[in-house]
Structure 1
C-alpha cells in the first residue's frame, strides 16, 4: 500500500501538503495543488487506514504520546519496556480518558516520522516524553497544535514551551547527603555516557550530578573531585560493555568507594545483579542508591534506596496543561512554563550505616 510520504514524493510536495489534502484543509493548499494531489491519491488507490479520518471534521479527539527517551533504549530493549516509561504513559492515558479523548502511543525520536504521524492522524495535541529540545522546536514550528513536554531539557534563554520536570539537582543533593549522614565519605557517581547533548543545556543526569557534587562540597568531601576518574563512572551505552565495566569496578574494589549513586534505578538494579553474580553483597560490601523509585526498586532484594519522583503527577500535569490550551482556558502569563515537581528520599535496605 502506498504511503503518505510516497504520495508527497510523486506530487513533488511536502507530507504536510498531502495531509492537508487528505483532511480537506483547502484553505491551506492552493486550488491547483489540491486538485493535483487529490488526483494522485485517487489514481494510486490510496486508502487511509485511519479511523480518525471519518471524524476529522469535528476533530479526531486524539492526543499523541510520543516516547523519545533514547537513554532508556540503551538499558532496555526499548523505552516502552522501562518501568518508569510504562508508568508515566499509563498515568497520561488514564487522565486523558477523563476528558473523553483518545490516546495514540508512538515511540520515535525521528522528526519526520513524528511529523508524518501527527499529520496523518490529525492529532489535536502531543505530549512529548524525554525528547531533545531540537525535536520539540521542529515539531512546534511545523504543527499548529499544542505540545507539552515531559523531561525535556531547555536552555535558559528558551521560550514558548511547557515542560513538566523534576527537582533533579535537589534529588541528587538529598540522596548524597543521606549517604554522608550514614558515614560514607568516598562516594561514586555513575551515569550513562551522554548522547550528543547541546551546549548550554543542563541534562537530567548532569543536574543530579550537580546535586551530588554540592553535597560533597558542603561536607568537605570534594577534594580533587574536578579531575577524579575514581569518583565518576561513565557507563557505556552497549550493555555488554557496561557489564564489563561493572565487573572491572568489582575487581578494582570500587576504587576505594563505599557507596555508588547511580543516576537511575535501572542502572542501579543492573549493577546490583552484576555485583551479585560476582560475589558482592549489597550493602555489606558496597552501598547502592538510585533515582526514580520505579517499581523495580521496590521489587528487587534488598530493596533499593532511591529518590522518589511522583510519576503519576507528571502525567496529570502534562494532560492538565494540554487540555487547558485545547479548551481555550490557558492563561499565558509567561512565555514559558517549567514545572519542577518535588522529590523525596526513599530509604530501603541498600545503604550500610558506617556510623554504627
Structure 2
C-alpha cells in the first residue's frame, strides 16, 4: 500500500499541517519537528508528489548545474555533495555538461519557469552566464569561479594559500631548485596557485623563475618533465598545479629511471581519488569538495527563500596532505 502524508503524520506524532510545511520547506517549523518528520519520511520511504509540491510552492523543484567536465574526481565529489544536499531539501538536480557557452541545454535551463536556481561549477566564459542569469532574474551561485564578482554569490578555495603551503613544504624539506608547472591561463585557481608558489619562494630568498605552463593534464606533466630530462636539467622538487599534472611528472621520472622521492619530490593539488592509490602515494593539497558543495547549495537556497543577500562569498581553506612523494633533499 502506498504511504501517504497521513501515515507520516501518524508515526511522527505531528499534524498533517506540520508535515506539509516540512515537505514544502516552510520556515515556520521547529527544527526538532522538521528532523522528526524527515526521519519518519526516510523510514517509511515516503516520497511526496513532486508536481503537487511544486505547485504548492509555486516553484519547479529543480536546480540546474552547469559544468564543463566530469572527468575529474574532485568535481565529481562536488557534484555528488550538491545532489545529496538538494535531495535532502526536496530538489532535483538537472545537469548540463558542456564546454560551449550556452549549449542548447543551457539555453533551456536559463528560463525562469524551468529551474528555481542555477549552480555553476568551475565555469568558463562565466561573464556571459552571469549576464544572462541576471537578465532572467534567476538565482545562481558560482563555485570555483575564475573571476571576482562582488555582486555574485560564490564559493571559492584559498588557492593562494594552497600554493604557498605546498611550496613551503618543499622548501622546509631542504629543496631550493623547485619548479612549478602551472595550470591554464583562464583559471583563477591557476594564477593564485602560481602566486602562492612565487611568494613562498621569495620569502625563503629563492628564485621563483622556474615556471612552465601546463593544462591540468597528465600529458602536460609528462611532456614538460620529459623535456627537462632530455635537456639534462631536472629540478629537485616540483609543485604541480593539480594532481593530474603531478601524475604525469611521476610517470616521466619513473620511465627515465628516476626514483620518487629519492631523486625528485613531487606535490600536487586537489587530492584526486587516485592520489592515495598511486605508488608512491602523492603528497597534495586537498580541496574541501564536500564543504564547497554544501555551502553552494546553502547560499543558493537562502537566496531562493529570500533569507540572504546576493553577493555573499564563502572562502574555504585547503589542507596540505603529506604522503610519500616528497622527502628531504638528498645531499
TM-score between both structures, scaled by the size of structure 1: 0.71
Name the counterpart of 1:73: none
Local SS of the residue matching 2:276: helix
Q: 1:241 to 1:307 in 2, by over 3 A?
A: closer
| Residues 1:87 and 2:77 aligned together | yes
Give the count of matched residue pairs: 278
Q: 1:304-350, CA deviations, whole angstroms, 9 ceiling, x for partnerless residues?
A: 111112110000000011111112222x2xx6222210122111001
Q: 1:273 to 1:242 in 2, by over 3 A?
A: closer
Q: 1:258-294, CA deviations, whole angstroms, 9 ceiling, x for partnerless residues?
A: 0000001111113222322332221122110001112
Q: 1:67-95, CA deviations, whole angstroms, 9 ceiling, x for partnerless residues?
A: 03xxxxxxxxxx21211111111111111
Contact 1:163 1:338 in 2 (8 A): yes
| Residues 1:321 and 2:299 aligned together | yes
Cα deviation, residue 137, structure 1: 1.7
Q: How well do the aligned residues superpose, as a CA RMSD in angstroms?
A: 2.6
Name the counterpart of 2:147: 154
Name the counterpart of 1:300: 278
Distance 1:272 1:151 in 2: 27
Cα deviation, residue 257, structure 1: 1.4
Moved over 6 A (4+): 52-56
Contact 1:53 1:121 in 2 (8 A): no
Q: 1:105 to 1:166 in 2, by over 3 A?
A: same
Contact 2:78 2:293 in 1 (8 A): yes
Distance 1:169 1:242 in 2: 21
| Residues 1:142 and 2:132 aligned together | no
Cα deviation, residue 301, structure 1: 1.1
| Residues 1:189 and 2:174 aligned together | no
Contact 1:67 1:108 in 2 (8 A): yes
Q: 1:42-83, CA deviations, whole angstroms, 9 ceiling, x for partnerless residues?
A: xxxxxxxxxx99987542201111103xxxxxxxxxx21211
Of 225, 239, 256, 1:261 maps to: 239
| Residues 1:125 and 2:110 aligned together | no
| Residues 1:103 and 2:78 aligned together | no
TM-score between both structures, scaled by the size of structure 2: 0.76
Q: 1:62 to 1:281 in 2, by over 3 A?
A: same
Distance 1:122 1:340 in 2: 30
Matches within 5 A, 1:6-21: none
